[in-house]
Structure 1
Amino acid sequence: MAMDQIAHKFVQVNGLKLHVVEIGSESSPAVIFLHGFPEIWFTWHHQMIAVSNAGFRAIAPDFRGYGLPDSPEEPEKASFTDLINDTASIIDSLAISKVFVIGKDIGTIVAYPFALQYPEKVAGIITLGLPFMPPGAFTEQFVLPDGFYPRRWQEPGRAEADFGRFDVKTVVRNIYILFSQSELQIASENQEIMDLVKPSTPLPSWFIEEDIETYAAAFEKSGFRTALQVPYRCVF
Structure 2
Amino acid sequence: MDQIQHKYITVQGLKLHVADIGTGPNVVVFLHGFPEIWYTWRHQMIALANAGFRAIAPDYRGYGLSDPPPQPEKATFLDLDNDLLAILDALAIPKVFLIGKDFGAWPAYIFACLHPERTLGVVTMGVPYMPKSSSPQFIKHLPEGFYISRWQEPGGRAEADFGRLDAKTVIRNVYILFSRSEIPIAAENQEIMDLVDSSTPLPPWFTEEDLEAYGKLYEKSGFQTALQLPYRAIKDGLGIPDSTIEVPALFIMGKKDYVYEFPGMKDYINSEKLKEFVPDLEIVFLPEGTHFVHEQSPEQVNELILTFLQKHI
Question: Which of 87, 90, 96 is 2:87 aligned to?
Answer: 90
TM-score relative to the length of structure 2? 0.72
Per-residue CA deviations over 1:78-103 (Å, capped at 9, x if unaligned) read 01111111111111111000001000
Q: State how far apart, in whole Å, the 1-side matches of 2:218 and 2:137 are.
A: 32
**Superimposed CA distance per residue, residues 4-38 of structure 1 (whole angstroms, 9 cap, x where no aligned partner):** 1110000001221100010011x521000000001
Contact 2:139 2:149 in 1 (8 A): no
Letter in 2 for 1:94: L
The one-letter code sitting in structure 2 at the alignment partner of 1:147 is G
SS of the residue aligned with 2:17?
strand
Matches of residues 181-192 of structure 1 in structure 2 within 5 Å? 181-192=180-191
Question: How is 1:170-189 mapped onto 2 (pairs within 5 angstroms)?
Answer: 170-189=169-188
Q: Which amino acid aligns with 2:232?
A: R
For the aligned residues, what is the CA RMSD?
1.4
Matches within 5 A, 1:224-235: 224-235=223-234
- Shift of the 138–151 alpha-carbon distance from structure 1 to 2, 3 Å rule, reads farther
**Number of the residue aligned with 1:208:** 207
Aligned partner of 2:42 among 39, 45, 56: 45
Q: Deviations over 1:120-157 (max 9, x none)?
A: 11011110010111145569785132111100000121
For 1:21, the aligned partner's letter is A
Asked if the contact 1:138/1:235 (under 8 Å) is kept, the reply is: no
Report the AA paired with residue 43 of structure 1: T
Give the SS at the match of 1:231.
helix
2:8 maps to what in 1?
10
CA distance in 2, matches of 1:45, 1:117: 28
Structure 2 unaligned blocks of 5 or more: 236-313
- Which amino acid in 1 is paired with 2:32? H
1:120 and 2:117 correspond: yes
Render the CA deviation track for 1:61-114: whole Å, top value 9, x for unaligned.
000000110001111000111111111111111100000100000110110011
Per the normalisation by structure 1, the TM-score is 0.95
Range 130-139 or range 7-16, more displaced:
130-139
Give matches, 1:32-181, under 5 Å. 32-137=29-134, 142-143=139-140, 144-156=142-154, 157-181=156-180
Partner secondary structure for residue 173 of structure 2: helix
Asked whether the equivalents of residues 40 and 215 of structure 1 are also in contact (C-alpha less than 8 Å), the reply is yes
CA distance in 1, matches of 2:203, 2:136: 34
SS in 2 for 1:5: coil
- Find the aligned partners of 1:142 and 1:160 in 2 and give their Cα distance: 21
Structure 2 distance, partners of 1:234, 1:139, is 18
Tell me, in whole angstroms, the C-alpha distance in 1 between the residues paired with 2:39 and 2:128. Answer: 23
Tell me the CA shift for residue 39 of structure 1: 0.7
Task: State the AA in 2 paired with 1:65.
Answer: G
By how many angstroms is 1:185 displaced?
A: 2.8
Q: How many angstroms apart in 2 are the aligned matches of 1:220 and 1:147?
A: 26
The worse-fitting range, judged by mean Cα deviation, of 191-200 and 136-145 is 136-145
1:234 match: secondary structure = helix
Matched residue of 1:195: which SS? helix
Q: Is the 8 A contact 2:33 2:103 kept in 1?
A: yes
Moved over 3 A (4+): 135-142
Q: Which runs of 5+ in 1 are unaligned?
A: none
Query: Counterpart of 1:158 in structure 2: which amino acid?
Result: R
Q: C-alpha distance in 2, partners of 1:36/1:97?
A: 24
In the alignment, the residues of structure 1 paired with residue 117 and residue 185 of structure 2 have an alpha-carbon distance, to the nearest angstrom, of 42
